[in-house]
Structure formats: structure tokens, C-alpha cells
Structure 1
Amino acid sequence: MALQVIGLCRFSYPAIGGFQVDHDTIEERIDYLYDDERLEERFQLFQAVALPSLKAQTDPDFELIIVIGDQMPAHHRARLEALIADMPQARIHAEPPRPQREVMKAILNAARKDFSQPCLQFRFDDDDAVAVDFVERLRKAAHDCEGLTKQHKAVAFDWNKGFIAEYGKEGISAAEIYRPFDVAALGMWVKGNCHLTIMNFAHNKINRFMPAVSFSEPRMFVRGHNASNDSRQKPVKAVPVEPLDYDQAENFRQRFAIDINVVQQTFGGA
């Protein structure tokens, strides 16, 4: 039986904790997350960047759980449902505000079809993309590292090179980066009858708690930089980006299923 592969994506879920932006009340967090201007950008990125990379996976045998708040306005939920209507791997899971790690761990463990069997898990941000062979390579990595998986409860697999990108009506600007143990292109094998999940750990500290195998090739992710990044609401080191030339844009299309023409149209270009 093939390893079950489960992906988890939070789509503006108003968790208690789990954000770098602080809010005094959960009501303030909900107002911030469901602000129309902010959500419009998140939908644009999800539609033009994140979903295409998953819909184009060379190994389509995976699941994507999209976690939303149960108070998300109906018209926004309907828009999200329409975006995944042609993606059988994806489903929406609505939750009331709960502590971030607690709820995500519960969702992942409930999604396991046979808890006695091992599985693979990955996190997925709604403004990122992974290479079209990410699931295929994640599954192969687990197979190739059976010597490790036989000895441990969990093993992490990380692809540490990719791109930072910004999107707009002019197209795509990007820069190549090395970023080990980031959210994008990080997966985790979990043994059967083990309650650990990829959400038990801060992504950039996961290698402190289990063996971790890192791959420097191929380029496996595109991290989005945009106005509503949670991680950019506090001072961070800027990454200079440059507009993609024709060959680079074609590489983005083939490697990540990010089409510069779709990006331009989605973000209001001609």
C-alpha cells in the first residue's frame, strides 16, 4: 500500500496563537484576517501561485486539507470552494478559533486513513509554491531512507533551495535563495501508531527533534513575499528581487506551474 501523503494549509484561519502579528482579542484577529483588501491578495496568490503547483503534481496521490475559520464569510468560502472544485485532492475543514498547534495536530491525525500505518505530511502556505515533482520526490526520499525510518518515530525531509518571489500586474520578480527547514518543501515521515505530526514542531527547529535529510537539488520551492505575509509584519531582512527574463519565466512555468501571464491577469494587468 502506498504511503498516505497529507498536506495541511491554513487559509486565514483565526488560530489562538501561531501568528507573529499580535492581537489583543480573537475578534481583532478575525477582523484583520477577513479584511477585504487582505483577503483579495490572499485569494490572488492562492489562485495564481499556490494551487497551480499542487494541481500539477506528477504524483497526484496526496490530500490537501485547507483549514478555515467557521466564521469565514459565506461569499469568501464559496470563492474558495470554486477554486478547488477541479482538485479532488483538496477539501475544506472549518474550525472555530482554537490554539494553533492543538487544532492542527488533531486535524492531521484524524486524516490518517489507517493509524497503524506510517504516513508522510507537509505544511503548505497559501502564498507559496512547490515544484511539480515535490510529492513524487518526498515519497521517493522516504523509500530511499528506509534504514532511518525503521529506527525512528519520525524523519524530516527538506529541500533547501528555491526562490523568493513577488507578484503583481507587471509579472514576477524573484531571487534564488538557500533557506533550510523553511515551511515550503519540508516534509515529515511519521511511523504507524505515532501521534507526532509536522505541526508539533516549529519548522525551522524540526531537525533538533529527529533525523533530517536535506537535499540541495533540485530547486523545490517558491516563497511568496507580499504585503500580508504574517512573517513580514515585523522587521525582516529584505531580499532584493529582479524581474524574470523569458527563460526564467519559462522555468517557473515548467518547474512550479506558475504562469507569468496568469499572474499578470490575476493581479489586474492587461
Structure 2
Amino acid sequence: MRIVGICRYSLLGRGDWHAYRGKTDAEVEAVAREQAKLLFAKDRMNARLESFEHLTLASLRAQTDQDYTFIVLASEMMPKIYRDKLLSLCKDMPNVLVRFFPLSNAIEAQAKVYTELGLTYRDTVQFRLDDDDCLCRTFIQMLRYHAEKFDEPLPFAISVSSFLYAVSGGSGKGVYDWQTPFLGAGAAVWHPHKSIYAFGHFALGVRFP
């Protein structure tokens, strides 16, 4: 069983954001172009690249089990300076793959990378991770251990429910121990033919063992 992580890195296209609901393809493109101005603003991108380097990638480098694939789904609309920086951050991590897409949702983009790599949903346990989240160093090891306890072909979901949540400013500044099963960060699923992004992350623990 292969373990595959999926990260949406400012991927633009029809998705689960409310602004895309009920829109035509032309309207989706217009919304995405407006959204791109916010997503790719200099200050935001510098902050996201920094968090991706020092949180997300650092935690992947630290994994006790390095037998995983981590797929970063990004937008072709991302300015070249940030595309080059993103690729540079990942270049010495052979199990981290960055792919850029035209307007696309995460499910479609993931399917294309799976086809490219010869992967199938049946053969992979998927987990999701945002570009400002990180994992405990034994995450992959734990995920593999628990996934091997389930019997196929019934779909199943796995969550590590203890989170450290950091607030960097404002009245709530601090670090919190947050017990929240099936928060998006690290939520995992095995399903024979569907992407993890086909399900709301909080729904995983309700729909599947």
C-alpha cells in the first residue's frame, strides 16, 4: 500500500469555494483571475513559501518513514518567480512532486498526476495537507501502521486528532492543543476509486470506519 499526500498550493479553478457555485466555465475563469490577484500578491506568496519551507517540507524531511509520495498541485497562473522558488524548495526531495495546471479542481489535477505516475486509488492511502500545515515526525509511520489493520475492499478513514495550533498575532496569540478529529491537516482515506477531495474532511469520520 503506497502512501500519497496531496497539497493544493494556490490551485485555481472550479473548487469548493462558495464563489464558484453555480457558475459557468467563463464565469469561473473570471472569478479565478480575480482570485489570482489575491493569491499571488507578493506579501502573501512570500509568507506561504516561508511556511511551506519551514513547516510543511521540514516536517516531511523529518519523517521516520520516508516511503511516501507528496504531490503539490499548483496553478499555471502563478507568476514565474514564485513557480521557480516553489520548485527550488522541493528539488532535493525526490518524493515531493510539483505539478502546475491550467484552471482545474484538485480532483481533476490529482487524477492527471496519478495517471502520469501509474498510480491507482485502490493502491494508495491518501492524505491531505495544506501549505501552512505540518506533520509530527512519525505521521507516515503511524498512518501505514493503522492502514494495514483495515481489511479491503471497504473504504476507511484515519485521523490523528491532536493538533498544535499556533496563532501568531492578535488577542488570541499563542499555541493551543486542539483536539479535533478529521481536521483537514493529515486527514487520510482509502477509497477504491475516489480522491480524498471528493469528501469534506469532517465527513470522512462519519461516512467511513
TM-score scaled to structure 1, two decimals?
A: 0.67
- 1:82 Cα deviation (Å)? 1.1
Residue equivalent to 1:64: 70
Corresponding pairs, count = 198
Counterpart check, 1:164 vs 2:165 = yes
Residue equivalent to 1:215: none
Kept in 2, the 8 Å contact 1:10–1:66? The answer is yes
Matched ranges for 1:27-106 at <5 A: 27-98=33-104, 100-106=105-111
**Aligned-partner Cα distance in 2 for 1:197–1:17:** 13
| One-letter amino acid of the counterpart of residue 132, structure 2 | D
- For residues 214-266 of structure 1, the C-alpha deviation after alignment (integer angstroms, 9 at most, x for no partner) is xxxxxxxxxxxxxxxxxxxxxxxxxxxxxxxxxxxxxxxxxxxxxxxxxxxxx
- For residues 181-221 of structure 1, the C-alpha deviation after alignment (integer angstroms, 9 at most, x for no partner) is 1111211123xxx312211101011123221xxxxxxxxxx
| One-letter amino acid of the counterpart of residue 10, structure 1 | R
Q: 1:116 and 1:91, CA in 2 relative to 1: closer, same or farther beyond 3 A?
A: closer
**Aligned-partner Cα distance in 1 for 2:113–2:190:** 13
TM-score scaled to structure 2, two decimals?
A: 0.85
**Aligned-partner Cα distance in 2 for 1:74–1:105:** 22
**Aligned-partner Cα distance in 2 for 1:103–1:116:** 13
Aligned CA RMSD, in angstroms, stands at 2.3
| One-letter amino acid of the counterpart of residue 127, structure 1 | D
Residue equivalent to 2:205: 207
| One-letter amino acid of the counterpart of residue 142, structure 1 | A
Q: Which secondary structure does the structure 1 equivalent of 2:194 belong to?
A: coil
Q: 1:198 and 1:102, CA in 2 relative to 1: closer, same or farther beyond 3 A?
A: closer
Alignment partner for residue 119 of structure 1, among 120, 124, 128?
124
Residue equivalent to 1:132: 137
Q: 1:121 and 1:40, CA in 2 relative to 1: closer, same or farther beyond 3 A?
A: same
Q: Percent identity?
A: 26
Q: Which secondary structure does the structure 2 equivalent of 1:130 belong to?
A: coil
Q: 1:114 and 1:65, CA in 2 relative to 1: closer, same or farther beyond 3 A?
A: closer
Residue equivalent to 1:267: none
Q: Which secondary structure does the structure 1 equivalent of 2:99 belong to?
A: strand
- For residues 105-152 of structure 1, the C-alpha deviation after alignment (integer angstroms, 9 at most, x for no partner) is 52464366353952111111000111011011000001123xxx2351
Residue equivalent to 2:152: 150
> Deviating runs (4+, > 6 A) in structure 1?
21-24
More off after superposition, 21-30 vs 108-117 = 108-117
Greater per-residue helix proportion: 2
**Aligned-partner Cα distance in 1 for 2:106–2:89:** 26
Larger-Rg structure: 1
- 1:155 Cα deviation (Å)? 0.6
Residue equivalent to 2:186: 185
Kept in 2, the 8 Å contact 1:105–1:199? The answer is no
**Aligned-partner Cα distance in 2 for 1:46–1:116:** 26
Q: Gaps (5+ residues) in structure 1?
A: 212-270
Residue equivalent to 1:13: 11
**Aligned-partner Cα distance in 1 for 2:144–2:196:** 16
**Aligned-partner Cα distance in 1 for 2:114–2:177:** 35
